[in-house]
Structure 1
Amino acid sequence: MMKKTQAALAALLLSGAIALPAGAAPAAPILIQVDGQLLELAGRNPVESNGTVFVPLRPVLQKLGIQVTYDLATGAIRGSKGTQTFKLQIGSTQGTVNGQVRELAAAPRSIKGAVYVPASFISETWGGRVEWDAEDRAVLITSADTAKAEPEMKAFFEKYAGAVNRNDFDAILSLFVPGSDLARALTAKREEVTANGQQLKLEQAHIVRAEANEIIVHTIEYTHITSGPFKPDSRSENTYRIVRQGDQGWAIANAQITGIQYLVSDEQLQASVTVPEADQKAIAQQLKANFDAANAEDLTAFLATVDASSADLEQMKQKYSNLFRTYDITYSLETAKIISYDGTNAAVYAIQTAKKRKGPAFEDNRAATVTTVKKNAAGEWKLLQTYVLDAEKL
């Protein structure tokens, strides 16, 4: 459930083994993923024999936290994790798991000094799932802990997305660890969080690690803005640390955006917007003042162009303080166009460049951006946030 299942993926657990199409010649080495992560195999990739996929035992079980020993002289293989144990023998289809005799789909074999077992042995002995991805030629292994956590995480993220899509701030906040730094930061951004209606779609998610009281989840999320002041849609990659709160269930202890792409449609960029001349002039002047302050490396003047309510104010202060101290950069505004306006809020699409005059290594660039601006109580237009849509090296 927590893994995006491609159309080509099939769980082919036939006769206790993963089967490949008869006569299929491997076009590339077979890969292994464990809980969504590619396993380093050092050239010891899975092999296919008579329709059964064999996987290298040691790297797979070690990734699952299972200790393995192999007696090269006798061909005996032993493994354990906690109170669970198993014993196999090279060339024998019989093994023991926790003292109980088990019949394997095929006998373990030694290939260049490494033990290989049928992929199905992993799921049959240690739980979880083993699937075959025909398109990517990969064995997908889901650990027992992850498989057990998947239904709970599916329900948790459905609850999270539902709260976001209802714009129910209290319901969103209830899914974070009470009193945590993250919960306090979210509370401070209540107005910003609830300013827009949005639809959150979980495009992909997988459990990176699952323990009894802590689960790490990686997601890809698409957010579509449906109402409120202009804000671009976005697609983000995120990592969540989710912890068990006793009888209260699971809660988000930490969340990190590891990558984000802002998305503005051609229709939005080409929109014809009617803006009173006075506001159009004031917005243009504020943008110019912002660029002039950046080129003069005047941090006070630069921050004076930013609205006091901007959630990025402190971040901007730190970022540009470091930039001004480290570099001499020329910022230029090539084109600018207002693409959204409602009298109080506006958005400006711009093409701008940044070219280094002095300082350490820096990549000169041209960027397409959207900057949101807001008219404050004094009737002054101030910058809120700049979103980088695309950038190219100069």
Structure 2
Amino acid sequence: MTARVTVSVHTRTGVMEYGFGEPVTCEVGRSAECRIRIPDGHPGVSRRHCRLDVDPPRLRVRDLGSSYGTHVNGGRLGPLVEQPLADGDEIRIGDVRLLITVTGPPEATTAAGPEEPDRRPPVSIPGYELLRELGRGSQGVVHLARHLASGELVALKQMLAPQPVDDNARFAFRRELVGIRALRHPNIVAYRADGDEMNAFYFATEYCPGGSLEDWAARYAGALPVDQALAVVRQVLSGLSYAHQAELPSPRQSDGTVTSARGLVHRDVKPANILLAGTAADGHPLVKLADFGLAKAFERAGLSGHTRTGALGGTIPFTARAQLLGYKYAGPEVDVWATAACLYWMLTGATPRDFPPDRDPIAIALREPVVPVRDRVPSVPRRLAEAIDTALVDTPDVRVRTAAALARSLEEAT
């Protein structure tokens, strides 16, 4: 039986039911943009009151800084605090009740907290010599490695499953990698190999010796020259334009046939995933997009052990509102917005929105406006600033929706 979460919304005028059979993030409130919209006439309900992160059979509720609070089973959540929910729980917002029903096979889970780097030691991968660690995150570790047969240096990312992996999960991961393997573009990190040993899945790509854009920008004490920043963004947009339209093989069907699909969305464009691979023909750094869909593939195969990152995805300061509200349906436009956010960051040393450490970053991304780029750095050329500010409009939708459109806008502005 497939797990399902049902939210029954009880108001003075009736009952509305919302059913969820797959991961989704939705806001609850009086705003027309909320997926669970409470009708007008309920003054104790804020426009964006709380958020539900649903990953059946699991779900959590987070207060979004509402004036009158979010109450779970009679107890009030702190502002911007989240709490796991279970079958039979009741949420009260003003005079509205939300009753939770969970059906399907039970699953033992732990509350999802902040994702910490994986501290488990790497697994030895036959055919590779691990030389040194390049980076570590919640899903695994990246090493500089040497392919013993060819002598080539590669970036070897190991993603460690938290529990024994069965054949179905292995097959699901390999199926998810079909499209990623097929990407071939000078501004996308090239695939070399993948495989698995025990519970460790590995993914080898070309090695980019210049490190990340994050590292490179640090040398400029917070802001890059305009020509350098634009050179980086043009290359990122070239890679995205290709990936968003590329004809890719789909997973093999049950009858053995292979069809084709078009386009792959990155969903995690950020400075740490833009790597420097050398010098381009124009003298600017040659940059390549890394980690194209890999984390998503790992989670969709059920290997990560995470309950909510697949629903949210991305790194919040570089994530458009549309991606937070509907990760599954996020299209190329969220990559375009993230690229504009990277350009903003390169020119100003700040992210488009301010994220004070004492406030919830998701609530900020959903509620707060983008700070105009010239409010940060008045010396940014006016036409360029206007193009960036337009590209960072994400309410109610992302305004600039294709990589080609953003590239044209930047070209016209400079």
TM-score (normalizing by structure 2) = 0.21
Higher alpha-carbon Rg: 1
Higher relative contact order (CA closer than 8 Å, sequence separation 6+): 2
